[in-house]
Amino acid sequence: MSSLVLAEKPSVAKSIADVLGAKSRKNGSYEGGGYVVSWCVGHLLGLAEPQAYDEKYAKWRYEDLPIIPAEWRYIANKDTQKQLKILCDLMKRPDVDCIVNACDAGREGELIFRLVYEHAKCRKPLKRLWINSMEESAIADGFRNLKNGAEYDNLYHSALCRQQADWAVGYPRKKLIRVTYMKME
């Protein structure tokens, strides 16, 4: 069995793969030593535009605000769809029995990873690598001390709330701010 390790960036994945002995390069990943190491290339999924919820939102009207969806929809980044598919396929591999979130230590790293994990409908056990250095010794020590992924659920929920709040107040960004100021004068 293997652990699938997902980093946020290809360069980080390569550094982790080197430490773990995953030397065999595959399509979008490295393998070896009981690990499959891949990367997210930043945000692979983002919130859908307002018109995806209702065509009436394609043209902005002050009367429609605020727009708060009952259920949030995510869409794949067109430039990174191939890597998203690779990650989903890797998560579904029968020889992968554990997923390690090795995205950046922080709220955004947690969000980037969890959106992919949820998108893939993955239910395999989740571990968290939390390191603040890319030195070989830090990576090795981090893997000796992996945390249960559930310990970071609140960080993920915090990131999700921030993302959704940004979306709700960010559309139509400048137009909304200008209209709001004009109404206040």
Mean pLDDT, the chain cut into blocks of 10 residues (185 residues total)? 97 98 96 97 93 89 84 94 97 98 96 98 98 96 98 97 86 46 45
Place of tokens 């001390």: 145
What's the pLDDT at 78?
Answer: 93
Pairing outcome for strands 2-7 and 96-102: parallel
pLDDT at 171: 56
58 SS3 class? helix
Pairwise CA distance, residues 122 & 170, whole Å = 30
| pLDDT score for 63 | 83
Q: What class is the 2-184 domain?
A: alpha beta
pTM: 0.88
pLDDT number for residue 177:
46
Q: Among 91, 47, 101, 50, which Cα is nearest to 72's?
A: 47
Please report where in the chains the tokens 């430039």 appear, as a residue.
79
What does the block give as tokens for 163? Answer: 């993302």
Contact 32, 40 (CB under 8 A): no
Kindly list the distances between the CA atom of residue 46 and the CA atoms of 69, 73, 85, 137, 173, in Å, as whole numbers in the listed order: 14, 8, 15, 34, 17
Alpha-carbon span 123 to 177, nearest angstrom: 41
- pLDDT on residue 173: 47
Cα–Cα dist 76/85, whole Å = 10
